[in-house]
Amino acid sequence: MKSDKKTKRGVYLLPNVLTTFGLFSGFFAIILATKGQFAESAIAIFIAMLWDGLDGRVARLTNTQSEFGAQYDSMSDMVSFGVAPALLVYFWLFADLGKVGWIGAFIYIAGGALRLARFNTQIGIADKRYFQGLPSPAAAALIAGMVSTKEMIGATPYDFVMIYVGWVILVGAGALMVSNIRYYSFKEVNLKGRASFKVLLVAILIIIVIIFKPSAVLFTFFFVYALSGLIMTSIEVRKKRRLKKRTKR
């Protein structure tokens, strides 16, 4: 009986170790941002995304899902995709703006915290095909991609515009995380099934493009993904309005 109790009190090692790697990547991203190493900090956030994707898949493949793992993953996400991106942009762009700068960063952090809290309460009841609100890893990738791309471009005569653009993107990402806008989750994509040869060629081409300009490609992808929810929602609203008009007639 004692051995059974010990087993129940234990935690699954492998997925939680992967989550810890993701947590460390987010923590290290904050350290790098405070030192002014902004491009490296953005890369650390992208690495945290890889660990975040791995821990969940490993847990499902090895049948080691647990309530502890879900909560630990959420805490890790808050650091890596909530605090780290906000502080990265703050030290990178907003440190000299005073209240406007830290308020923008806080709005993003609050949006990330509320997004994760809502996600935790909907586990098992939400439609797996869609996310309600912009997922926090996607929001973090959008921010990290913006910083990384600008660092790659370097100084330009229009850098003053970047302050306003960066603030809007940061606050907008925070607002989208707590919105009711639906985003496709890609969870129904079957990677184990057979696909045509053309699909393989397209996949190889995408990988080559990402390797060539990783920061710009990733920023573009997640920017389009953030817009996709808005577009999909506007289309659904128009359809509902048309149906209402038809029913009235």
| Dihedral pair phi/psi, residue 182, rounded to 5° | -90, 140
Count of other CB atoms within 10 angstroms of residue 69: 19
**Domain-wise residue ranges, the chain:** 10-188+208-248
**159-177 confidence digits (pLDDT tens):** 888 999 999 999 999 999 9
Distance CA 211, CA 195 (A): 23
H helix and E strand count, the chain = 10, 2
**126-147 confidence digits (pLDDT tens):** 677 788 899 999 999 999 999 9
| Dihedral pair phi/psi, residue 183, rounded to 5° | -125, 135
| pLDDT tier for residue 10 given thresholds of 50, 70 and 90 | low
- Write the DSSP symbol of residue 80: I
Burial of 249 (0-12, 13-18, 19+ CB in 10 A): exposed
Distance CA 16, CA 131 (A): 23
Distance CA 221, CA 223 (A): 5
Domain 10-188+208-248: homologous superfamily in CATH: CDP-alcohol phosphotransferase transmembrane (TM) domain (1.20.120.1760)
**209-228 confidence digits (pLDDT tens):** 777 778 888 899 999 999 99
| pLDDT tier for residue 5 given thresholds of 50, 70 and 90 | very low
SS3 assignment, position 183: strand
